[in-house]
Structure 1
Amino acid sequence: MSLFLDLVDRVLSHEGGYVNDPNDPGGETKWGISKRSYPHLNIKDLTRQDAIAIYQRDFWQRVQGDKLPVPFVFQALDAAVNHGIGNAVRWMQRAAGVADDGVIGPVTLAAVARQEPADLVLLFNAERLEFYAKLQTFDYYGRGWTRRVAKNLRFAAQDN
């Protein structure tokens, strides 16, 4: 649990407080939790602790953070939060050289474990950058997104 708590602080350093940007397809957002993904939540009143609980339940557990290599797990968590579980898992699978079916099972976990963690981080973030570049909102948000990946690569250097 302490690894998750350390890593979620990093995610929260990327995700700010309350925002309701009309250009953001996620709509109203706080701590990176969007109204689009959680329509039943009162986003404006969401606490940091509530956001952490959501990250633990809906993102960390779903990417199987406890089973991923420590030098890589933050990358998977951050991408799952920013792009959704499906995208993060498919990028992980592509980086590990297995079929990108979006399901983390024994084949994916074994392939991830066989990869050199630094290579996994690089290949994964290459997928992420290519995804960003294809988005229609890249001209508006792209500078911030690429800074996020740059910061994540610096975290990866610390984690190795």
Structure 2
Amino acid sequence: MTLFRDLIDRVLSHEGGYVNHPNDPGGETKFGIAKRSYPAVDIKALTRDEAVAIYERDFWQRVQGDKLPRALAFQALDAAVNHGIGNSVRWMQRAAGVADDGVIGPATLAAVGRADPADLVLQFNAERLEFYAKLQTFDTFGRGWARRVAGNLRYAAQDN
């Protein structure tokens, strides 16, 4: 089993089924796949397997999950799904102490490789929590977001 296949169920446990919440800027969503990001996808008819294929192609590969320590790989994937690739990569870079240019290159991968994975996860999630707190929709969704990060920290403890 690939690392991605081992971790994707965690992401899907956060995302759930079909939702069309009026305050969600992503609009209609299923398995975390939003109509705003995928306008050509019939969200209501989207299958789990189709969502997993999207996650692998558009998120996992772009955060270079196979090149990251397991604990950080999951955090990067989950944040990319929830906040976008650019935010996830910049938080990873800040956690690793390199320029946060949003591009995973040799310097980022080397810094991540040298760092303690537990430290990376803690720094990464601190960035993530600060980001959540600045969002206008925090009053509506903040409690769920905080639970998501708490769950992710529990996963990190298992992964280290």
Q: What is the TM-score with the length of structure 2 in the denominator?
A: 0.99
**Cα distance in 2 for residues equivalent to 1:48 and 1:154:** 25
Deviations 1:127-154, CA, capped at 9 Å, x for gaps: 0000000000001100000000000000
The corresponding residue for 2:31 is 31
Deviations 1:84-114, CA, capped at 9 Å, x for gaps: 0000000000000000000000000001111
The corresponding residue for 2:76 is 76
| Superposition deviation, residue 3 in structure 1 | 1.5
Aligned positions of 1:147-158 closer than 5 A: 147-158=147-158
Aligned length: 160
Give the gaps of 5 or more residues in structure 2: none
Give the gaps of 5 or more residues in structure 1: none
Q: What amino acid maps onto 1:47 in structure 2?
A: T
- Structure 1 counterpart SS, 2:39: coil
**Cα distance in 1 for residues equivalent to 2:5 and 2:69:** 16
Identity %: 82
Aligned positions of 1:1-160 closer than 5 A: 2-160=2-160
**Cα distance in 1 for residues equivalent to 2:145 and 2:118:** 21
Give structure 1 regions of 4+ aligned residues with deviation exceeding 3 angstroms.
none
Aligned-residue Cα RMSD (Å) equals: 0.6
**Cα distance in 1 for residues equivalent to 2:82 and 2:29:** 12
- Structure 2 counterpart SS, 1:118: helix
Q: What is the TM-score with the length of structure 1 in the denominator?
A: 0.99
**Cα distance in 2 for residues equivalent to 1:103 and 1:2:** 24
**Cα distance in 1 for residues equivalent to 2:109 and 2:3:** 19
| Superposition deviation, residue 70 in structure 1 | 1.3
| Superposition deviation, residue 2 in structure 1 | 2.4
Q: What amino acid maps onto 2:28 in structure 1?
A: E
Deviations 1:33-91, CA, capped at 9 Å, x for gaps: 00000011100000000000000000000000110011211000000000000000000
